[in-house]
Amino acid sequence: MDPFAQLAGVVDQDEEEGEEKDSRRRRSNCVDCERPSSVCWCPFLPDPPPQVRSRVLILQHPGEAKRGVRTALMAARGIADSRCTVRIGKKFPGQDQELGEALSSPGTRLLYPGEQAKELSREDTEVETLVVLDGTWDEAR
């Protein structure tokens, strides 16, 4: 291996490890939102949490789970009575029975822009489950 590349590898590693040690010492993560305490969003969640009629099912791309803000977790924590749940994966059909039933139920709506998209309204009382995709648009496809 080229000695310069070797050196670069070692320097990178040292830096990463150093940062990790630093951040562990400086800031502890919130147990609820899993974010560093300095950027914890828990105090901003609505109290009491809003009651929703439909169940909200968030299908999250694994890449999104790694991104820092954790909006899906925010929704799950922010909606009353655990009506919002998050599933992580890339391909969902066939993953499990409960999810399969939710996805094929006539009362399920997918929140996604497109030619055949319809506007939801408060009068849509037959919406039992609202499926939301969490990821970049490329990942959502």
* Interaction of residue 42 with Zn ion, rule CB under 5 A: yes
Residues of this chain, 11-40, that bind Zn ion according to CB under 5 A: 30, 32-33, 40
Give the end-to-end CA distance of the chain in Å, rounded to a whole number. Answer: 40
Pair 102, 57: CB distance under 8 Å: yes
Of all residues in the shown chain, the one whose CB is closest to Zn ion is 30
Would strands 84-88 and 55-60 be described as parallel, antiparallel, or unpaired?
A: parallel
Q: How far is the CB of 40 from Zn ion (least distance, A)?
A: 3
* Interaction of residue 110 with Zn ion, rule CB under 5 A: no
* Interaction of residue 74 with Zn ion, rule CB under 5 A: no
Pair 118, 112: CB distance under 8 Å: no
Pair 38, 27: CB distance under 8 Å: yes
* Interaction of residue 45 with Zn ion, rule CB under 5 A: no
User: Could you list the residues that contact Zn ion (CB under 5 A)?
Assistant: 30, 32-33, 40, 42
